[in-house]
């Protein structure tokens, strides 16, 4: 007779949270299996409901001393933040431990600094979703792991200018929404004003609707409006300070989410690469690091996105007093720089997407570049690539955790390496 299987738990019951997972959810054991409970902390006794791997928190019966009051009324429904219920000190430790765990999984030991944490109200760019619900227009973020849109009226993470623009964004979205499908609205605060980029429009949106949306944005004081990568209206060229230069982002182009975090990462990278006569900025985007490094070094910048490279070139042309900057459109995943090309450099910085840069890192590991600064938004891919570099003869000097995405489980890092003697 076959053994009876345990009936999956369901209905309200109590659990003890053992630890936090990589996504910031509390983890508990139930019937010999691990389950996840959002918005909980290690050591808490909680009442939960539901079945499967992800349960619903009903009530915190015994709170952790690390628990804090959330900063936003939308926390718990809006999926933008997942860790507002954690006090600052353990929150910073959690971020640092994300990196330590990833390193350990690859057999690496390194000096990992304390976490630099972004202050509230400093995120300069955010992507909102807008959609129709009957006669209303909803604007906000999706609930976590859900298609449900949570309309927001505040956001303690975003810059005040972005929060103040929420009513105007709803008005602009009203011209561009067709049917029940939503659109994405990326808003970036620049030195010239708010830069607006809209994507996801339905095919039946009329040209007149685009004009009306741009007109409404102009009246609201927006610097630029672009739709699906095309500039619709530029009242003032969006620009951001980048050392002695101005960075001119293309419509929808990648930027660091926080000016404060960008400045801290730039400080760390420049200190590591000081006295380098020639450097490379790989996965350069539109020049976040390249423009600053060019104050002291000649720079080779490479990026697969053509619009980003053209924007970088425009920034270089408009700047004064920079060392030579060579900007190249190049897919570093398929066509990485060879070790012999890199060996002519005195240092390099790379800031790849979440997937990391395994092909390019393999060439760096074979090169003679004395110093490397690796900027990463994913601890797992960072640890994998650091393993390759260490096996190739590099030494990890220090890793700096950067909390650029406040109250989320994501953590950036700047890893500094030197080629061992």
> Considering the chain, what is the average pLDDT of its residues?
94
pLDDT of residue 5: 42
Q: Are residues 264 and 398 in the same domain?
A: yes
Alpha-carbon distance 406 to 257, whole Å?
10
Q: Are residues 101 and 161 in the same domain?
A: no
Considering 181, 200, 234, which residue would you say is the last residue of a domain? 234
Q: Are residues 167 and 280 in the same domain?
A: no
Quote the DSSP letter at residue 301.
Answer: E
pLDDT tens for 68-77 read 999 999 999 9
pLDDT of residue 264: 97
Q: Which residues contact 175 (CB under 8 A, 6 or more apart)?
A: 209, 210, 212, 213, 216
pTM of the predicted model as reported, rounded to 2 decimal places: 0.93
Alpha-carbon distance 234 to 77, whole Å?
36
> The CATH number of the domain where 101 resides is what?
3.40.50.150
pLDDT tens for 114-124 read 999 999 999 99
Flag whether 240 is in a domain: no
How would you class 145 by CB atoms within 10 Å of its CB: exposed for 0-12, middle for 13-18, buried for 19 or more?
Answer: exposed
pLDDT tens for 34-47 read 999 999 999 999 99
Flag whether 245 is in a domain: no
The domain in which residue 346 lies consists of 91-119+257-419
Q: Comparing 15-29, 111-125, 202-216, 322-336, which segment has the lowest mean pLDDT?
A: 202-216
How do 347-350 and 371-376 pair as beta strands? parallel
pLDDT of residue 62: 98
Spatial contact of 45 and 26, defined as CB atoms under 8 Å apart: no
Spatial contact of 200 and 184, defined as CB atoms under 8 Å apart: yes
Phi and psi at 225, nearest 5°, equal -125, 125
> The CATH number of the domain where 206 resides is what?
2.40.50.1070
Q: Are residues 289 and 352 in the same domain?
A: yes
Q: Are residues 340 and 394 in the same domain?
A: yes
pLDDT of residue 304: 97
> The CATH number of the domain where 10 resides is what?
2.40.50.140
Closest C-alpha among 167, 150, 191, 115 to residue 401: 115
Flag whether 85 is in a domain: no
- The pLDDT-based confidence of 13 (bands split at 50, 70, 90) is very high
- The pLDDT-based confidence of 367 (bands split at 50, 70, 90) is very high
- Quick one: what percent of the chain has pLDDT higher than 70? 98
Active site residues: 377
Q: Are residues 263 and 298 in the same domain?
A: yes
Crossing angle of the two packed helices 88-105 and 379-391, in degrees rounded to 10: 40
Q: Are residues 108 and 168 in the same domain?
A: no
pLDDT tens for 279-338 read 999 999 999 999 999 999 999 999 999 999 999 999 999 999 999 999 999 999 999 999
**Would you say residue 418 has pLDDT above 70?**
yes
Provide the 3-class DSSP secondary structure of residue 227. strand
Q: Are residues 288 and 148 in the same domain?
A: no
The answer to whether the Cα torsion of 210, 216, 219, 221 is positive or negative is negative
Considering 50-54, 87-91, 216-220, the range whose residues carry the highest mean pLDDT is 87-91
**Would you say residue 6 has pLDDT above 50?**
no
The two three-digit tokens of residue 380, written as one number: 């797992």
Q: Are residues 268 and 406 in the same domain?
A: yes
Q: Which residues pair with 395 in a beta bridge?
A: 418
**Would you say residue 156 has pLDDT above 70?**
yes
Q: Which residues contact 292 (CB under 8 A, 6 or more apart)?
A: 242, 243, 245, 266, 270
Flag whether 241 is in a domain: no
pLDDT tens for 108-146 read 999 999 999 999 999 999 999 999 988 899 999 999 888
Flag whether 384 is in a domain: yes
pLDDT of residue 8: 56
pLDDT tens for 165-191 read 999 999 999 999 987 789 999 999 999
pLDDT tens for 322-339 read 999 999 999 999 999 999
Flag whether 251 is in a domain: no
**How many domains in the chain?**
3
Q: Average pLDDT for residues 225-241, to the nearest whole number?
A: 93
Closest C-alpha among 325, 320, 321 to residue 303: 325
**Would you say residue 243 has pLDDT above 60?**
yes
Provide the 3-class DSSP secondary structure of residue 266. helix
Closest C-alpha among 227, 247, 405, 411 to residue 313: 247
Spatial contact of 203 and 213, defined as CB atoms under 8 Å apart: no
Closest C-alpha among 33, 74, 134, 107 to residue 396: 107
Q: Are residues 292 and 207 in the same domain?
A: no
Flag whether 270 is in a domain: yes
Alpha-carbon distance 95 to 187, whole Å?
26
Q: Are residues 306 and 384 in the same domain?
A: yes
pLDDT of residue 161: 97
**Would you say residue 370 has pLDDT above 90?**
yes
pLDDT of residue 9: 65
Q: Are residues 175 and 229 in the same domain?
A: yes
Q: Which residues pair with 232 in a beta bridge?
A: none
**Would you say residue 349 has pLDDT above 70?**
yes
Quote the DSSP letter at residue 412.
Answer: E
Give the total residue count for the chain: 421
Flag whether 76 is in a domain: no
């Amino acid at each position: 007779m076959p053994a009876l299987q345990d009936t999956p738990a369901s209905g309200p019951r109590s659990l003890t949270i053992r630890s936090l997972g990589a996504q910031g959810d509390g983890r508990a054991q139930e019937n010999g299996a691990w389950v996840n409970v959002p918005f909980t902390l290690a050591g808490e006794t909680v009442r939960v409901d539901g079945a499967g791997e992800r349960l619903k928190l009903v009530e915190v019966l015994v709170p952790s001393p690390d628990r804090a009051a959330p900063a936003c009324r939308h926390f718990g429904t809006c999926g933008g933040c997942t860790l507002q219920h954690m006090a600052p000190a353990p929150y910073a430790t959690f971020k640092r431990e994300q990196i330590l765990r990833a390193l350990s999984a690859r057999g690496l030991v390194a000096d990992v600094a304390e976490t630099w944490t972004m202050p509230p109200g400093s995120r300069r760019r955010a992507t909102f979703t807008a959609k129709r619900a009957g006669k209303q227009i909803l604007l906000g973020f999706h609930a976590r792991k859900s298609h449900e849109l949570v309309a927001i009226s505040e956001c303690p993470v975003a810059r005040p200018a972005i929060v103040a623009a929420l009513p105007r964004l709803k008005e602009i979205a009203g011209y561009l929404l067709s049917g029940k499908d939503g659109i994405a609205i990326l808003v970036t605060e620049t030195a010239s004003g708010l830069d607006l980029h809209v994507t996801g429009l339905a095919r039946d949106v009329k040209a007149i609707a685009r004009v009306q949306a741009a007109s409404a944005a102009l009246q609201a004081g927006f610097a630029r409006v672009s739709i699906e990568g095309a500039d619709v209206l530029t009242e003032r060229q969006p620009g951001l300070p980048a050392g002695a230069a101005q960075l001119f982002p293309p419509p929808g182009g990648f930027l660091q989410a926080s000016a404060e975090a960008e400045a801290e990462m730039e400080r760390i990278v420049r200190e590591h690469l000081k006295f380098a006569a020639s450097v490379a900025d790989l996965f350069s985007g539109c020049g976040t690091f390249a423009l600053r490094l060019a104050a002291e070094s000649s720079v080779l910048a490479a990026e697969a996105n053509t619009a980003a490279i053209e924007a970088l070139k425009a920034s270089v042309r408009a700047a004064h007093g920079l060392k030579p900057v060579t900007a190249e459109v190049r897919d570093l995943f398929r066509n990485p720089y060879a070790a012999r090309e890199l060996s002519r450099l005195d240092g390099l910085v790379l800031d790849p997407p979440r997937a990391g840069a395994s092909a390019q890192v393999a060439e760096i590991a074979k090169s003679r570049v004395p110093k490397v600064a690796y900027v990463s938004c994913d601890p797992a891919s960072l640890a994998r690539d650091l393993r390759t570099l260490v096996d190739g003869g590099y030494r990890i000097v220090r890793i700096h955790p950067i909390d650029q995405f406040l109250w989320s489980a994501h953590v950036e890092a700047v890893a500094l390496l030197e080629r061992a003697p």
